[in-house]
Amino acid sequence: MFHKILIANRGEIAVRIIRTCMYMGIETVAIYSEADRESLHVQLADEAICVGGFRSKDSYLNMENIISAAINTGAEAIHPGFGFLSENSEFAQLCEDCGIIFIGPKSEHIKQMGNKSWAIKKMIEAGVPVIPGSEGVVKSAAAAIAIADKIGYPVLIKASAGGGGRGMRIAHDVSSLKSAFETAKSEAINAFGDGALYLEKYLENPRHIEFQVLCDKYDNIVHLYQRDCSIQRRNQKIIEEAPGTIDEALQKRMIEATIKACKSIKYENAGTVEFLVSGNDFYFIEMNTRIQVEHPITEMILGKDIVKEQIKIASGERLSFNQSDLIINGYSIECRINAENPKEQFQPSPGKIKLLHIPSGNGIRFDSLLYPECVIQPYYDSMIGKLIVHGENRDEAIKKMRSALEELVIHGIHTNQMFLYMIMNNPDYLKGNFDTSFIQLKLERLLEYDEDE
């Protein structure tokens, strides 16, 4: 087992990883930007090193400085968390070259599954259902039009190296496809330095269902069941549920496809296989080669620590449990708490936390970077915490989430807390009648709350 781990991240996920390391008896090294000198993860770690300036590119994306920090502190391994360098194959390879264990999959797996067109080809070979579309990168708008004529409109243009909704455009006809192709290409170059695009049939109003997996180097694979991540705004998840409400027959087919996907590349460590579900059909969309933001709801229904398993697998140990050991217990929901103002088109809301009260106990968990008087910086992602609840069933989990959102107090900045509360009280959400278009269709109604509530 490792003696010391460097966490190449910030915010709530860095805090989350540090806490697991604490009870595993592993020393931790935090990295931070000049803006994050007083951050919670810096205060909790055994050591902390500044790796650059305020901007992400100068600090949390500065591979050379991060590797140097690991070497200088004697850290044997690096946990990348999510975002930043977590799915950067070059960084994973650099760790391998420097004799540092990357707590995640091999660099080749990150590179392969990060290339969406390659991943789709591989899934087709493995017998995993994929959305009809291009067999690889589409090199021109004319080629995209030819493919769209075959599979039918609407179509979705996606950046091959993309994620988070960037480099993604929907086209409903030939004329809109031409402009969408060029716009997506330009956005992909700016966001990822790679303008490669692929094209697929656009599924209107699907559900977004994903399966968490853990795989060790001894070819042991377990799935940790599914999560429903359909409540999204602009392709960004906001609320997640586990295990969701898909029927057993569909679940069984999706589990089989998930295992096929992992076996096809001999995957190692934690990962998540994501699908779109339309009616009784499902289609692979991507595999995230990292810990997910929404991993806590899986932990809540299974009683497992996924970060702990990541660390153990990376250190060379076998999985500590079998598939038969995993039994779903109850229902869990996660709400992402963002520093933003929904009333002002969700603009970021940095600033100082003047008053803070966090609900706890009775199946309530709050993973966050917050403490009284801390400063929310304007340079990074707006997510400042994740409110997670666990109940005996979905109805109880919803009631518990409503109660927790009512009790949560964050003063000094705007948050999306009331927006989330409105969703928790929406009749269609309560019935489970939702898909990825839910927020888009109901946005006006969801914003009908008083700022002072």
- State how far the alpha carbon of 356 is from the alpha carbons of 332, 338, 369, in Å: 24, 15, 12
Whether the ω angle into residue 243 lies within 30 degrees of 0, i.e. cis, is yes
The residue type at 40 = L
| Helix-, strand-, coil-residue percentages of the chain, each rounded to 5 | 40, 30, 35
Contacts of 249 (CB under 8 A, 6+ apart): none
For residue 154, say if its preceding peptide bond is cis, omega within 30 degrees of 0: yes
Give the containing element (helix H, strand E) for 103.
Answer: none
Please confirm, yes or no, whether 290 is among the known catalytic residues: yes
Tokens at 65, concatenated: 């400085």
**Alpha-carbon gap, residue 128 to 257, rounded angstroms:** 5
- The catalytic residue among 16, 227, 290, 365 is 290
The length of the chain in residues reads: 453
End-to-end CA distance of the chain: give it in Å, rounded: 49
Give the CB-side neighbour count of residue 444, counting CA atoms within 13 A.
Answer: 1
Q: Which residues contact 221 (CB under 8 A, 6 or more apart)?
A: 213, 214, 215, 259, 262, 263, 267
Closest by CA to 298, choosing from 228, 364, 392, is 228
Task: State both tokens at 41.
Answer: 């993860």
Listing DSSP states for 374-427 in one string gives: -EE-SSS-SEEEEEEEEESSHHHHHHHHHHHHHH-EEESS--SHHHHHHHHT-H
Rounded-to-integer distance, Cα 41 and Cα 53, Å: 17
Two tokens, residue 351: 């600033």
- Reduce the DSSP state of residue 163 to 3 states and report it: strand
Catalytic machinery residues: 290
